[in-house]
Amino acid sequence: MSESYEDGVCGDGAPDFIPPRAIRSGRRSGVSVPLVERDETALLDSVKAAPRRSSIIKDPSVAKVSGGRKKTVSFSSMPSEKKVSSAADCLAFMQGGCELKKVRPNSRIYSRFYTLDPELACLRWEPSKKDGDRARLDISSIREVRTGKSTETFLHNGPSDQLAEEAAFSIIHGDEYQSLDLVALSADVANIWVTGLRYLLSHPGAIGGGSGGDGVVGEGSIGNKMRQNWLAAEFALVDEDGHGIVSEDTAVATICKLCPGIREAKVRLRFKEIQRSKEKLTSHVTLEEFQEAYCELCTRPDVYFLLVQLSKDRECLDAQDLRLFLETEQGLSLATTEGCLEVLRRFEPSAPGRERGLLGLDGFTRYLQSAECQLLDPEHQNVCQNMKMPLSHYFISASYRSYLLDDQVHGRADLGGLIRALQTGCRCLELGVTDGPEGEPLLGVDHGTDGKHHHHHHHHHHHHHHGSVTLRSALEVVNKYAFLTSQYPLLLYLCQRCSPSQQRTLAQHLKKVFGTKLYTPESLPVSLGGRATTLPSPEQLKGKVLLVGKKLPPEEEGSEGEVSEEDEEIGGGGPLAGRRMTIPGEEELGVVLVVPPPPQPRRLRLRRELSDLVAVARTGSRNFYAHRTSSQPSQQLSPPSTPSTPGTPMILDPPYWTLCSLGEGEAGRLASESPEDLVNFTKRNLTRVRPSSVRLDSSNPNPQGYWKGGVQLVALNQQTPGAMLDLTRGRFMQNGGCGYVLRPAVMREEVSYFSAQSQGCVPGVPPQTLRVKIISAHSLPKPQGSGAKGEVIDPYVVLELHGVPADCTEQRTRTAAQNQDDPLFDETFEFQVNMPELALLRFVVLDDDYIGDDFIGQYTIAFECLQPGYRNVPLLGLAGDPLPHASLFVHIAITNRRGGGKAQRRGLSVRRGVRRGREYVTLRNTGIKVLDDAFRPAGGPLREATDLREDALSATVAFKEQCGLPPMATLKQCIQSLATRLQSPDGPPGATLILKEGYPCLEPVGNLNDATRKLLNGYDTMISANKQLIENADGVQERIAQVQKEGMVFHEDLPRLGEKENLKGRKQSKAVESFTWNITVLKGQCDLLRSAKIDALDTLRQLALACEASGLILTSDGHYTPHGLSSRRGSSHGNGRI
């Protein structure tokens, strides 16, 4: 991967665990990371090989994974035939017993065999030094059961880092709240133990009753009764003669109707097994058999475990339970009880459940599979960005020769490709035009410039092809479909090599077909002092077609003139001539070009009629190099003008708008070697990259490699499916699929420091942390290109993060073996995201048992579109078409510790490890005394800002730890945990909520034990730190903003100030870079502090609501209204209320 950074792809240097086959998917994904020798199988084998009595960690082969990021180690799943659909199943499994790892405070880990006794009264384990009566734990002594690694033993013992978070759980017992810390072989097994133990805690009557073994436990829950009654009603509908039996065909069809996506063969096989086990001679199905088959086949264990966790013991949710789930897990801060009742009525299949306002297992499953719980934030399904900025501020969806059926060279012209491109939201179409018979121009390949390798054989290839398409018919198709998907402007990129006479015909067709839609330079809104200095906005150009092409120079006055045809391919007249160049992303294919010295540009005759219709002049890379030369070092910071805020007029030479077209190889090199120059150039100039002419198969380059350099238009072969087209679709889904996506602020602001190649992309702004838990997959089809016989698939999921090089990485789950089309994974992955605005997350499902193609499905989404909480990910096929019913079930958590980008979600936080020492941002020395004096006063407020933010964050994290909850827990869950400890059986709770100066404080009542008092102290510390932040943030922010303002005063004077200090050349450039860096840091810190204050206010609101919900007494009026929280932008992300 010597040059993979050129393609926007990189490893982070940390040794990732990737099983040996993972690299094979690298070609499909565009992201590849190095393998390490030590994989999880070896680790698991060493664990299994260790004698039960010995400490596993003493085995030297179990070494901690070294390197930057902590990697997840996953253990194998429990056998796939083990299905859990009720509490009874959990208790039966526990009575059978299984091996669990016991973690001791002394850092040792032991294997023990744990069982639940037949009377459901105690847990026992063996082997043990204790006698049989002492190697037990009474169920009645258990206080709570916690999931994850949240106790002191887990948090403060190094070896526990090697154990999977999802498979860990702790049993808190005794009056001293001691912990028994355990790790199961898989998350599924841990879920069974947690569910069974919590069931016993909430059903004290079951303890000692011995009802677990016969499957009676759990059958009487409200939710289970609802389910059985609903299935009986559905059965009665198809039992036409009322005899209580139906044919197998009818039973199979009914289950397939009730559970869309299940394979018919799977249902039929289950009924055959039931008949065999009962030695039945007929294939008729009874109600009991129908219910048994449905519950076994259609119960999703992952949803069942979640439902039990939310509903405590009823196996169904009421409106209040659902509201708590939406607020604490799904980030919907403004969920209402009425809205929750509406959800219950829409998704609950049983009539009695709907009447009682209850959501059972099947209704909850349907809700989680619905569009309301999709990963994509619904706000982004429509245009949601500011569309009033200059065109150059947007990424624009562009297609390359989409009218060709086969490849870039020999392809036959076809109008269907143009239609498909426009229907998917493309806003820049390339049209190649050549002379046709009878004076009528034809649509076809322009082989003039980058097709010169094939020029002799194929020039005018379409002139005599029996399937030739006239340009007139192509324009009519474009006109018909241009604005059906998107109202925003369409750029027509014209590559014509017609004779002057056919150019005149071409101009007539353009005017006649498009009429007033055609936007010409004469219709330019001259709003800024008599001449336009910048491109208009997409909003201003709605419904307009802009022609991009060659234009006669202004001094040319005749009806016809000459223009030079610049070579747009690699070389481009730039400093590359004579160099060897690897096309980005093609290293493994060995594609290396030797760039020939550029010939003299060809001269082309151009008719005035056609030139006058061109709104945007097409130029080559010379334009970029000329801009770079003229703007160094002083002019590169002159502020861009926008329609709304006129600034320094842009020096237009020539005086019309331009689009700089770069070859793929040259653009990749510029994005890697001169990223700052390229970004500065694209702040005002439209730039386009087209695929290299060596891509004879119409394959596509990685667009991310060019987006990171600010390139607005990356033209792709829309007819070639694959990862690169997936990334493009994911990017443009971000703004309603309208074909325009606003570029990051650092690519638009007048003074901003951005280098795509640096590790921390925005100076002074910490990365965000993304945690993705892949829980399960559903209704997976076989790979489309698979040659495997039968239905067997062994799926696994690859998670790819695409973005700036510092963010690029790839991780994968284990393989779910043994024919699993509904596999459980339960694996969590963590990513650092430095530049969220450019990041894309791609889920790829592959088959480990493949013969031929291993691709099952994928889904690509922009980071900014992710919704937090439990979400379904609809999988798409190779061509981007939805795979029926196929999906992933995931949990998403994001820490937003910065301003800008995505609005902060409510109710989720992820702990970023404990800091060894606090890191403070500092400003750079510019070498210009007056500037450095202006920036110096920022030192104090910058430190204060960091302290305010970090103190509030660490106090909140410490409180969660004290509550014994995992890092991803919400404050509502913390208060629920606290409230259970404060409850007293014969009186008021041990603390009450009171307002002190508008802040929600907890006042102790009566005698509390030390542990509970310590918890309340932790709560007080958290309130105090948030109070400090809220009351001081504005003042500190104003002081930082003042320094930024004073620094900007010197912005226009930078060249003169540098000369006064005798700074020249490199030193002058360095001073400009340091100035830009400082301004960006100051702005970023202001945004961070503003965002932190909003989060602190939200913390108070969450705490007050949680105290109310948990029964802690409020003030006399029973309401809580501190600090104007009602003004909180509750639904700013478009999904705050249901």
Tokens at residue 678, please?
């390229």
Backbone dihedral angles phi then psi of residue 594, each to the nearest 5 degrees: -100, 115
By percentage, how much of the chain surpasses pLDDT 70? 74
Cα–Cα distance for residue pair 423/426, rounded to 1 Å? 7
For 161, half-sphere exposure in the C-beta direction (CA atoms, 13 angstrom radius) is 13
Q: In the prediction, which pLDDT does 1095 show?
A: 85
1023 pLDDT above the threshold of 90: yes
951 pLDDT above the threshold of 70: yes
Tokens at residue 388, please?
């009033």
Secondary structure element (H or E) that encloses residue 658, with its range? strand 658-663
**Residue environment code for 803-833, b if the CB has 16+ CB neighbours within 10 A, otherwise e:** bbbbbbbbbbbbbbbeebbbbbbbbbbbbbb
Cα–Cα distance for residue pair 889/286, rounded to 1 Å? 33
| Amino acid, res. 255 | I
Mean pLDDT of the chain: 77
137 pLDDT above the threshold of 50: yes
Q: What are the tens digits of pLDDT across the range 80-94?
A: 445 677 788 899 999
- Answer whether 189's CB lies under 8 Å from 301's CB: no
Q: What are the tens digits of pLDDT across the range 721-744?
A: 899 999 999 999 999 999 999 999
- Domains annotated for the chain, with CATH where assigned, are 87-206 (2.30.29.30), 391-560+606-716 (3.20.20.190), 761-895 (2.60.40.150), 929-1127 (no CATH)
Q: In the prediction, which pLDDT does 62 show?
A: 32
912 pLDDT above the threshold of 60: no
Q: What is the pTM of this model?
A: 0.79
316-324 CB contacts, 8 Å cutoff, 24+ apart: 316/221, 316/222, 316/223, 316/226, 316/353, 316/358, 316/359, 316/360, 316/361, 317/344, 317/358, 317/359, 317/364, 318/344, 318/357, 318/358, 318/359, 319/344, 319/357, 322/359, 324/972, 324/1109
594 pLDDT above the threshold of 50: no
Give the residue among 110, 77, 93 at the shortest CA–CA distance from 186.
77
240 pLDDT above the threshold of 80: yes
- Answer whether 799's CB lies under 8 Å from 829's CB: yes
Local structure of residue 158 (DSSP, 8 states): G
The dihedral built from the CA positions of residue 672, 677, 680 and 686, taken in this order, carries a sign that is negative
- Answer whether 418's CB lies under 8 Å from 403's CB: yes
DSSP string, 831-893: EEES-GGG-EEEEEEEETT-SB--EEEEEEEEGGGBPPEEEEEEEE-TTSPEEEEEEEEEEEE
From residue 313, alpha-carbon distances to 221, 433, 693, 989 in Å are 7, 71, 65, 23
Q: In the prediction, which pLDDT does 160 show?
A: 66
Q: What are the tens digits of pLDDT across the range 792-817?
A: 788 999 999 999 888 999 999 999 87
Q: When comparing pLDDT for 597 and 560, which is higher? A: 560
Cα–Cα distance for residue pair 830/1051, rounded to 1 Å? 40
Q: In the prediction, which pLDDT does 599 show?
A: 53
Q: What are the tens digits of pLDDT across the range 608-637?
A: 989 999 999 888 776 766 666 666 544 333
- When pLDDT is averaged across residues 1059-1083 and rounded to a whole number, the result is 86
Cα–Cα distance for residue pair 501/495, rounded to 1 Å? 16
Per-residue confidence band for 192, with pLDDT thresholds at 50, 70 and 90 = very high
From residue 896, alpha-carbon distances to 769, 871, 890, 1029 in Å are 8, 19, 19, 17
65 pLDDT above the threshold of 80: no
- When pLDDT is averaged across residues 441-459 and rounded to a whole number, the result is 53
Local structure of residue 702 (DSSP, 8 states): -
Q: Token pair 């198969």 is at which residue?
A: 697
Residue 395 neighbours by CB under 8 Å, 6+ apart: 707, 712, 713, 731, 732, 740, 741, 742, 743
- When pLDDT is averaged across residues 653-669 and rounded to a whole number, the result is 77
From residue 224, alpha-carbon distances to 252, 343, 358, 673 in Å are 22, 20, 12, 63
Q: In the prediction, which pLDDT does 1009 show?
A: 79
- When pLDDT is averaged across residues 510-527 and rounded to a whole number, the result is 78
* Angle at alpha carbon of residue 1076, lines to 1071 and 1078, rounded to 5°: 95
Q: What are the tens digits of pLDDT across the range 542-567?
A: 999 999 999 888 777 777 877 877 64
Residue 557 burial (10 A CB sphere; 0-12, 13-18, 19+): exposed
Local structure of residue 150 (DSSP, 8 states): -
The alpha carbon torsion through 975, 980, 985, 987 (nearest 10 deg) reads: -10
- Answer whether 1000's CB lies under 8 Å from 1103's CB: yes
Q: What are the tens digits of pLDDT across the range 138-150?
A: 998 998 888 888 7
Cα–Cα distance for residue pair 119/1045, rounded to 1 Å? 74
Cα–Cα distance for residue pair 683/640, rounded to 1 Å? 7
Tokens at residue 1062, please?
């005798």
Q: In the prediction, which pLDDT does 508 show?
A: 94
200 pLDDT above the threshold of 80: yes
* Angle at alpha carbon of residue 35, lines to 32 and 36, rounded to 5°: 155
Residue 721 neighbours by CB under 8 Å, 6+ apart: 878, 879, 880
Q: When comparing pLDDT for 568 and 35, which is higher? A: 568
The dihedral built from the CA positions of residue 523, 525, 528 and 529, taken in this order, carries a sign that is positive
714 pLDDT above the threshold of 50: yes
Q: When comparing pLDDT for 25 and 421, which is higher? A: 421
| Amino acid, res. 209 | G
Helix, coil or strand: residue 765: coil
Distance of CA 1091 to the CA centre of its chain: 21
Q: What are the tens digits of pLDDT across the range 299-340?
A: 998 999 899 888 866 789 999 889 888 987 888 877 888 999
> For residue 79, is the peptide bond before it cis, meaning its omega torsion is within 30 degrees of 0?
no
Q: What are the tens digits of pLDDT across the range 1084-1133?
A: 889 889 988 988 888 888 788 778 777 776 544 444 444 444 333 333 33
Residue 150 neighbours by CB under 8 Å, 6+ apart: 170, 961, 964, 965, 966, 969
If you average pLDDT over each of 363-372, 448-457, 939-948, which comes out highest?
A: 363-372
